[in-house]
Structure 1
């Protein structure tokens, strides 16, 4: 069964652990009537569809998924607001910290043909791919920025400056960070409903596509019904 999908140039999403299944959702809903199903039936599938259609979401909060994500900081900080703004108290986020580790930094660098123009009628988002010459120049400049920053970071570490301050030399938004995200099935679908939209940032859309592919193998009915 698929449990890891590569994303962007160096990133990935890995499904670490799962608690529950579509049957968990069914039995949580049936608890009100002191009933329980031993296996998923057509009647149970109809129940899941009803719960999703009528926005009866509490049964979907009895199933949990845990992901490991490796993504640029600009993706991580968009993702993080689903924890800050969550009313599901069991949501959790633990991120690697350069206060404690000094592993070699990785950075997301768009290829020449991946740089996007600013949108014509919006203050956020992006438009079409820019001309090749401009993309080539942008990639070159970003590589040079990273090269200079890494040199300064290594200098600071070698001179004995603490890791938590040495990291100030590293470019932030493109730097890859790693975290564990644990959340309910409803929390996953709330994230997916917003980050699979066409107007979401392209990079986080790619991560959302990986999340839905991994989650759908474990919760095929619920994922379909909550993400219509």
Structure 2
């Protein structure tokens, strides 16, 4: 099984290291009674289901997984909300910075059939795809915008401007960034429930599907118990 899944046009999710297993969850729960399992059996599976159903989530914080993600900034900033907005996350997040690096910028440009209309009854989210003629026009305009931003960025660098200021010329939200995310199994499953939901933004949902596909084989019973949105 591959540990890397391609997402969008140039992005990916890569599983660096799973830490622990369903057995880690079971034994974290059983320590209350000074018990320990050597392998997962049907009784342990029922225990995992019970823990998830009754909201006894601390045992799920004894298993972790570490990922590398390459995604547009708009996806990264949505994702980061799960780090700063949770008191149980136990997450680590380290991101590449254009204060220090000047690698070739990479941008996400939706194809002509990927542009979506504004929703009719909500202030956020998106509606149906727009006419491909409009999508093609927007795609071309965005590519022109990116080329101009890159040219100004390179010009600033050539003039001796520091990278942390030159980056101001780059179109930010479509710019790909790379980061490493290490999280407890509870935090990962919380993220999956939120971003596999039907009202989640399409782009981050595609990344969530990648995370699910990579993490589920390592923690099958726990993911089945905790993640409710995956079809």
TM-score, scaled relative to structure 2: 0.97
Alignment of 1:20-59 (within 5 A): 20-59=20-59
Q: Find the counterpart in structure 2 of residue 175 from structure 1.
A: 175
- Tell me the distance in 2 between the aligned counterparts of 1:217 and 1:103: 34
- Tell me the distance in 1 between the aligned counterparts of 2:17 and 2:88: 18
Write out per-residue CA displacement over residues 86-126 of structure 1, whole angstroms, 9 at most, x where no aligned residue: 21363111000000000000000000010001111111111
Relative to 1, partners in 2 of residues 1:130 and 1:7: Cα closer, same or farther, differing over 3 Å?
Answer: same
Q: Find the counterpart in structure 2 of residue 221 from structure 1.
A: 221
Equivalent position SS for 1:46: helix
Q: Does 1:127 align with 2:124?
A: no
Gaps of 5+ in 1: none
Structure 1 segments of 4 or more deviating over 3 A?
none
Gaps of 5+ in 2: none
Equivalent position SS for 2:212: helix
- Tell me the distance in 2 between the aligned counterparts of 1:89 and 1:48: 19
Write out per-residue CA displacement over residues 115-162 of structure 1, whole angstroms, 9 at most, x where no aligned residue: 001111111111111001100100000000000000000111111100
- Tell me the distance in 2 between the aligned counterparts of 1:96 and 1:62: 27
- Provide the aligned length of Structure 1 versus Structure 2: 228
Alignment of 1:113-192 (within 5 A): 113-192=113-192
The alpha carbon displacement at 1:181 in A equals: 0.6
Equivalent position SS for 2:141: helix
Equivalent position SS for 1:146: helix
The alpha carbon displacement at 1:217 in A equals: 1.0
Q: Find the counterpart in structure 2 of residue 67 from structure 1.
A: 67
- Tell me the distance in 2 between the aligned counterparts of 1:63 and 1:107: 34
- Tell me the distance in 2 between the aligned counterparts of 1:101 and 1:140: 28
- Tell me the distance in 2 between the aligned counterparts of 1:206 and 1:14: 14
Write out per-residue CA displacement over residues 1-55 of structure 1, whole angstroms, 9 at most, x where no aligned residue: 3311000000000011111000100000000011111111111111101111111
- Tell me the distance in 1 between the aligned counterparts of 2:39 and 2:51: 18
TM-score, scaled relative to structure 1: 0.98
